[in-house]
């Protein structure tokens, strides 16, 4: 039986999942959190699926050894590759993954053009293919591979002429006309959202971080695992790189 004041574990391939941790803390500020970013192996989106799966399972083991009462996989690529396996391995553990926010985009832009900005691996996975098949009758969905953006966020380059040019190039390479909506299919991408908005003005941006946080809260309530404390919880950030600058970047992104 997990203790209610045990931490919620949040995992990402690097620093990007801090965007989801930010949503979790905003929704459940009294909970305790452990965040683990695997920046030593980022980006995951260009790796073979078997390697992504092995890395994810190994990192989740590290988090669960620290007594986590729930797990949030705050990485679209890791969710696609491993979350089903994790749920089979830990049936008693609340496990929440993340997926591109296609549902709200399709509901708000019926018949429109929706670009899904994600890593190459996320767009190749069966999970995304199922989402695409489900919503393709409601809107024109255009997959846009953008793994290169992850490396900019990992090094803390969140707004630069080079980043703006890259985003313009990526969008121009895949879109023959402006999209009505852009879905951010990688948790790193919310940190460069202002640059995406400048590169694609008048386009509505969607990301799945808030929905993931709400699902985590729902599962904790359903399993009676919410922390009863009314005091602000603790946040511990770990990173496989061992680089103190990477840890500092995570805290800066959390407070941004």
Q: What are the catalytic residues?
A: 75, 186
Peptide bond into 155 cis (omega under 30): no
Strands 70-73 and 8-12: parallel
List helix spans (H) across the chain: 18-27, 49-64, 76-89, 102-108, 120-124, 126-135, 148-154, 161-174, 193-199, 209-222, 244-255
Name residues whose C-beta falls within 8 Å of residue 128's C-beta, 6 or more positions apart in sequence: 80, 99, 100, 116, 118, 122, 143, 185
Taking the CA atoms of residue 56, residue 37, residue 24 and residue 45 in that order, the dihedral angle to the nearest 10 degrees is -60
Nearest Cα to Cα of residue 13 among 255, 241, 253:
241
Nearest Cα to Cα of residue 222 among 103, 65, 101, 95:
95
């Amino acid at each position: 039986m997990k203790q209610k004041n045990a931490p919620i574990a949040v995992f990402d391939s690097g620093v990007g999942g801090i965007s989801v941790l930010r949503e979790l803390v905003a929704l459940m500020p009294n909970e305790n959190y452990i965040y683990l970013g695997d920046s030593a192996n980022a980006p995951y989106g260009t790796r073979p699926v078997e390697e992504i799966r092995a890395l994810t399972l190994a990192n989740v083991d590290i988090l669960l050894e620290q007594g986590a009462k729930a797990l949030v996989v705050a990485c679209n690529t890791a969710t696609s590759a491993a979350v089903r396996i994790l749920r089979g391995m830990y049936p008693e553990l609340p496990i929440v993954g993340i997926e591109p926010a296609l549902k709200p985009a399709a509901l708000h832009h019926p018949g429109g053009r929706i670009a899904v900005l994600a890593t190459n691996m996320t767009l190749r996975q069966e999970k995304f293919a199922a989402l695409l098949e489900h919503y393709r009758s409601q809107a024109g969905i255009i997959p846009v591979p953008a793994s290169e953006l992850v490396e900019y966020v990992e090094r803390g380059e969140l707004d630069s002429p080079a980043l703006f040019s890259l985003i313009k190039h990526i969008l121009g390479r895949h879109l023959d006309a402006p999209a009505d909506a852009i879905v951010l299919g990688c948790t790193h991408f919310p940190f460069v959202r202002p640059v995406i908005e400048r590169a694609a003005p008048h386009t509505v941006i969607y990301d799945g971080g808030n929905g993931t946080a709400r699902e985590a809260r729902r599962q904790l309530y359903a399993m009676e695992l919410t922390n009863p404390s009314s005091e602000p919880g603790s946040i511990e950030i770990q990173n496989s790189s061992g680089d103190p600058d990477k840890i500092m970047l995570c805290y800066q992104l959390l407070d941004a």
